[in-house]
Amino acid sequence: MRNSKKPAVLPPKPTAAEMELLRLIWQLGPATAKQVHEAALKERPELAYASVLRMLQVMHTKGQLSRDERQRAHVYAAVEEQDSLQTNLVKDLIQKAFSGSAKALVLAALKTHVSKDERAEIQAFLHEEVSVSPTRKKGGGKK
């Protein structure tokens, strides 16, 4: 490399525990360890403050969180937007577990992980997409 800048590298995929904290930070916005801990206690009352602080520090080291150190209580924020991370995780899951087939992923999810209400919502969404798609140009609007 000619210049000292490192190439943009995505942080490693978060563990389940890290995803839990990321979800809270996305809900809260930039937050201190105390704020994240208080939010986490609602779902996991046994979770110690020191554990949350240590995980936030590790996630910062991994590049998953940024840390504003201008105040005494450091403020942590997610580096990657929720939509972006979820999209990347789903793409990876499709490749690794479903041989690149998004259809196989959706069918597997529909078979076991969807409530009646969610199924109705999905059907309404698909019906809406079908009624909209004839007005689209061929090949347009699909991802």
**Residue type at 56?**
L
Cα–Cα distance measured from residue 65 to residue 43, given in angstroms and rounded to the nearest whole number: 22
What are the pLDDT digits (tens) for 10-69? 678 899 999 999 999 999 999 999 999 999 999 999 999 999 999 999 999 999 999 999
Query: What DSSP assignment string belongs to 49-85?
Result: HHHHHHHHHHHHHHTSEEEE-SSSS-EEEESS-HHHH
Kindly report the backbone phi and psi dihedral angles of residue 65, in degrees, each rounded to the nearest multiple of 5, phi listed first.
Answer: -130, 150
Whole-angstrom CA distances from 84 to 80, 88, 116 are: 7, 6, 28
What are the pLDDT digits (tens) for 75-94? 999 999 989 999 989 999 99
Structure tokens at 61: 């080291």
Q: Pick one of 1.10.3720.10, 1.10.10.10, 3.40.50.150, 3.40.50.720 as the CATH number of 16-78.
A: 1.10.10.10
